[in-house]
Structure 1
Amino acid sequence: MPERAQNVLFIMADQLRWDYLSCYGHPHLHTPHLDALAADGMRFNRAYVQSPICGPSRMCTYTGRYCRSHGATWNGVPLRVGERAMGDHLREIGVQSVIVGKTHMVPDRAGLDWLGIDPASKVGLRHAECGFDPFDRDDGLHPNTGYNPEPAYNRFLREKGYNSPNPWDEHANSGLDAEGKRRSGWFLKYSDLPADIPEALSETPYMTTRAMEFMAQAQASGAGPWLCHLSFIKPHWPYIVPPPYHDMYGPGDVLPPVRSEAERATDHPVFKGYIDSRICRSFARDDVREKIIPAYMGLVKQIDDQMGRLFSWMKENGLWDDTMIVFTSDHGDYLGDHWMGEKDLFHDQSARIPLIIRDPRAGAQRGAVSDALVESIDLAPTFQGFFGGAPRPHHYEGRDLTALLHGEAPKLRDFAFSEYDYATRPAREAIGNAQEDARLWMVRDARWKLTYAEGFRPMLFDMESDPDELLDLGASDAPAAAAARARLTEALFAWTRRHHNRHTKDPQWFDDVLGKEPPGVLIGYWDEEDLAADGLSFMPAR
């Protein structure tokens, strides 16, 4: 019998807060299947994304590189042609890597045209899919606006009898009010309506089924090893969910907002610009929170139930014991905390993510909890190592988590970093600064978190005494705050001085050519004797 292939199921939810799972402490939202995964694996308490917005965060996760390295700093800004992602690296070592769901990748059309690459070719398609082979690519958002091609999910719904021009929008993300009038889930007012779709046909079960179909096909064909990226569209807005999840939670399950009046009176231009924006004014309203948060909780509960279905199926079909399972998110959701809506800034509600990893090889670490500072870019080199690939430190800027997963507890890093480009956001318009200055960076260590804002004072939080991040010490004269500001700012500047783009040659190449000139090139020698003293001989050109 051949040795069983080792596979990876890489699951990502979209806009899922770290603290909206019961294994992370939510008191009302019970997620027993993800809790069981954590009990059978390792749960990370301090995992951070490298940009708190969909596209850039995913590009970091998929490439294993920071935004300043790959350049995709905002949604719709593509990875440039030639920027390789985990699927490209894994393919080189014989691992099939497929996408089921969302990547938020848009192709570099100008780069493809410049190099004469047909977008419909295998190379062009893999570039457009962020290095993955598409089993069922579906970003879900704006399916008929040209943002991405119409997804297979719309065609699936039409096959089920939903023959509208856009069943994703008109059924899966809309509901019928008491008078039978169709109401769009884009409007927050209607978040408590049941989505006009049977639960079994909604997006999360559909994607789960498609992942199971891929795994079944791979198993039947003997193909392997593989990495399947199951990337859910929810609980990202529109905040609307089918029955029975639409009324599973109510206003009584909504936790009080984490915010203070001092925050609303902030003098920080960027934070104030966000708080004053329409999106944040809406989400800061209690009536809005009482509409959207129960729906958000229902969407999360649906994901957990689908995890139960998926995990049971894997166990029944002999895939559980040879598959690494990773569950995470691309960023969080403020949900009105800090007077904010959406994501964008670096409070834990936005930049901190759930991360659960079950490594079938790490039996002794079942149920372990890690407080190590972990970055989402650590997943790509971890997968590389899991499949036996050689390390690629010249490309991957993340760290392989294998030793940590196996209980060896190495110190991964002293600081975690994240970046944000708000050049397209209303806050920049309110501030009136130039787009090249609309930049934010986060650096945090075991105790402190600093946001460096180009052109403005920093924001600083003591995560030990103020875990809710309500007291901004960015302008404080207190010695501890001043020392932390100086130390974290220097750590950030040291990070920016690293080799972020020297990735076409590995470190060994530089050692191999150290002090050497190319063959036949002689520089600085006086005569033949000088050359002979270095153990070299002159070879005249022919």
Structure 2
Amino acid sequence: MSGGWEEERAGPELPSQTKDFGTHRMAKNVLFIMCDQLRWDYLSCTGHPHLATPNIDKLAERGMLFDRTYVQSPICGPSRMSFYTGRYVSSHGSTWNNIPLKVGEMTLGDHLRPMGVRTALCGKTHMTADAEGMRRLGLAPDSTIGVLVSECGFEPFEREDGLHPDGNRYARNEAYDSYMKEQGWQDENPWNSVANSAEDDEGNILSGWFMEHADKPARATDEQSETPYITRRAMDFINEAGDQPWCLHLSYIKPHWPYIVPAPYHDMYGPNTHMPVVKSEAEREDPHPVFGAFMEERVSRAFSQDHVRTRVIGAYMGLIKQLDDQIGELMRFMDEKGLSDDTMIIFTSDHGDYLGDHWMGEKELFHDPSSRIPLIVVDPSPEADATRGIKSDTLIEAIDIVPTILDFYGGKEVPHILEGKSLLPVLHGDVSKVRDFAVSEYDYSMRDVRTRLGVEVADAKLTMLFDGRWKYIYAEGFRPMLFDLEHDPDERIDLGGLPDYADQCQKMERLFFNWCRRTNQRTTMSDEDIGGRNASKGEAKVGILIGYWNEQELEDMKD
């Protein structure tokens, strides 16, 4: 392949490797698969009646399907930063896309590399490096540490964000461009004009950014398109890694827009296979001000039209079907390599997609189509045999992934840093609850919604708490939103403004207040370290003599 491939393959030089995995002798590799904008209910194993995903379903049969999993933010950047740090958005501070993750935030790779685990990326992270912080600390972006800090702690085997046709360097993957040129495509930007565009009978390029073209096949063949390409690159990494323990983050950029897919997937799913839209006229009659403002966004107005929704959903389902086929290819490869018996596999998504539900497009608010995600964890150890194929309804958060992986490798718990909970106990049969409620946060200060509502930047905050029945959204400066999913599972009726539900809102607000009071920034010293200290004796040993009457009292303290 081209020089671009070889340069990406090299990656940064890593610390010396060790292979001590404590009691988890089987714990060798982790394959952490993330899709982008995949709704929780668009898999056959999670209930879609017409979209068969047999390969992803097999993962659910081999492991556990966590059916009530919520992201820490319903938008790419902050959600992923929570996935990679194991911390809430208000803890790591990367509250929206392109707001840098500050230097010093520990990530998955920072936890695993000292254990000898090569932690690499193949695909998307949406990471924006803290360039100012790196300059302040004298970290060169091309140094070993600088690369890791800039890439969410991952060794960038190949990064491809695929966000904008001519955006930052990660939107233009030079390795993919080189590959496409080798395939005979001499377009200046084949990612945009080939992989994400169609062509009419006269040879005119039809951009996939325009949703009217979603029913047409992309110019790229299936093999040339992004999902198969990045799958093959993941296989390249696994082949290169050899016997060294590894954790590979395989991060697909689909079914995220542009909504266009190559043949034969482009016309597999006609309107008769689409799930009916979930919305009601009552939602628009007197909506919560923030919800109402989001319904007026361009993308929401577009998806509120049936013909737009119909055109897009066919492509969206096709993209998922292509993903499922590639998961099948990857699992067969893993089997052939003899890796399936000692590799933990995690399959998930960074958030969902409204697709017209609740008069919305995109994501950003907290209805289940946006904030709820699929999560499958396959633990190869014998301790997990009893739970294989089980669908769990325990409340799970995205921040649980890092502590689960760390636990799998036998790492020490670090609850002063990681705010998530390891899922290994659940996978090994512990039926106790992981948590009483899930939290998701959203900073909408970067959106036009804020200016239309006249909200100050500091006040453009939403926080969701969901306890398994009640979904409560605290909206700074506005009344809360409240949904009763036990009696209204489709979340059509907002109870937050009704006097009869004031007590329930107050109860949820107290939970929110207590959650806000957590200690979340003292990450340099654990509760265990602090709790094991005798403050008075420690002060005396270093000569801090406060409150002593005489030398004898000091000597008594030292005894």
TM-score band w.r.t. shorter chain: over 0.9
Match of 2:459 among 437, 456, 459: 437
Q: Displacement of 1:30 after TM fit?
A: 0.6
* 1:418 and 2:474 matched: no
Q: Aligned runs of 1:95-244 on 2, under 5 Å?
A: 95-142=117-164, 144-146=166-168, 148=170, 150-151=172-173, 152-219=175-242, 222-223=243-244, 225-244=245-264
Counterpart of 2:10?
A: none
- TM-fit CA distance, 1:375: 0.2
SS in 2 for 1:533: helix
8 Å CA contact 1:204, 1:232 repeated in 2: yes
SS in 1 for 2:557: coil
Match in the other structure for 1:464? 486
1:58 is matched with 80
Does 2:552 correspond to 1:529? yes
Q: 1:108 to 1:303 in 2, by over 3 A?
A: same
Matches within 5 A, 1:57-456: 57-142=79-164, 144-146=166-168, 148=170, 150-151=172-173, 152-219=175-242, 222-223=243-244, 225-361=245-381, 362-456=384-478
Q: State the partner residue of 1:520.
A: 543
TM-score, normalising length: structure 2: 0.93
1:123-154 CA distances to partner (integer Å, 9 max, x unpaired)? 11111110010111111112532263631212
Counterpart of 1:503 in structure 2 is 523
C-alpha deviation, 1:254, in angstroms: 1.8
Residues 177 and 189 in structure 2, CA contact (< 8 A), matched pair in contact too: yes
Check whether the contact 2:64–2:391 (CA below 8 A) recurs between aligned residues: yes
Tell me which amino acid in the other structure corresponds to 1:452.
Answer: Y
- CA shift at 1:288, angstroms? 0.3
Question: What SS does structure 2 have at the residue aligned with 1:523?
Answer: coil
1:268 deviates by: 1.2
**Secondary structure at the residue paired with 2:66?**
strand
What is the letter of the counterpart of residue 277 of structure 2?
P
> CA offset at residue 320 of structure 1?
0.7
Asked whether the 8 Å contact 2:400–2:420 carries over to 1, the reply is yes
Aligned partner of residue 279 in structure 1, secondary structure? helix
Q: CA RMSD in A?
A: 1.4
* 1: CA distance, partners of 2:168 / 2:48: 38
Q: Is the Cα–Cα contact under 8 Å of residues 123 and 230 in structure 2 kept in the other structure? A: yes
Farther off after superposition, 462-471 or 523-532: 523-532
1:427 shift after superposition: 1.1
Aligned to 2:31: 9
Deviations 1:371-414 (A, max 9, x none): 10000000000000001111111100000000001111232110
Distance 1:334 1:4 in 2: 40
| Inter-partner Cα distance in structure 1 for 2:534 and 2:360 | 52
Measured against aligned partners, the alpha-carbon deviations of 1:413-450 in whole angstroms (never above 9, x if no partner) come to 10100100000112112101111110000001021100
Stretches of structure 1 lacking an aligned partner (at least 5 in a row): 537-542
**CA pair 514-493 structure 1, distance change in 2 beyond 3 A:** farther
Per-residue deviation, residues 196-254 of structure 1 (Å, max 9, x unmatched): 001001000011111111112222xx22x110110000000000000000001112222
For residue 25 of structure 1, the aligned residue among 47, 50, 58 is 47
Alpha-carbon displacement from aligned partner over 1:337-383 (angstroms, at most 9, x marks no partner):
00000000000000000001111111121101111000000000000
> Aligned letter for 1:91?
R
Distance 1:96 1:410 in 2: 33
* Deviation readout 1:257-303 (Å, 9 max, x if unpaired): 10111111233110010001111101111010011000000000000
Candidates 474, 479, 482, aligned match of 2:502: 482
Q: Specify the SS of the correspondent of 1:466.
A: coil
Give the structure 1 partner of residue 11 of structure 2.
none
C-alpha change, 1:290 and 1:276, in structure 2 (3 Å) is: same
Once residues 113 and 385 of structure 1 are traced to their aligned partners in structure 2, the CA distance between those partners, rounded to angstroms, is: 34
The residue type equivalent to 1:439 in the other structure is K
Alpha-carbon distance in structure 1 between the residues aligned to 2:287 and 2:304: 18
Q: Percent identity?
A: 55
Equivalent residue letter for 1:273: A
Q: 1:216 is matched by which residue type in structure 2?
A: N
1:257 and 1:337 in contact (8 A); partners too: yes
Kept in 1, the 8 Å contact 2:445–2:458? The answer is yes
C-alpha contact 1:274 1:426 (8 A) present in aligned 2: no
Distance 1:457 1:509 in 2: 42
Counterpart CA distance in 2 for 1:441 and 1:217 is 43
Aligned length: 530
1:169 shift after superposition: 0.2
1:535 positional shift = 3.5
Partners in 2 of 1:359 and 1:324 — Cα distance?
A: 5
Shift of 1:484: 2.2
Q: Secondary structure at the match of 1:201?
A: coil
State the one-letter code of the partner of 2:550: D
Quote the Cα distance in structure 1 between the aligned partners of 2:289 and 2:457: 15
- 1:296-346: per-residue Cα shift (whole Å, max 9, x none)? 000000000111111111112101111111100000000000000000000
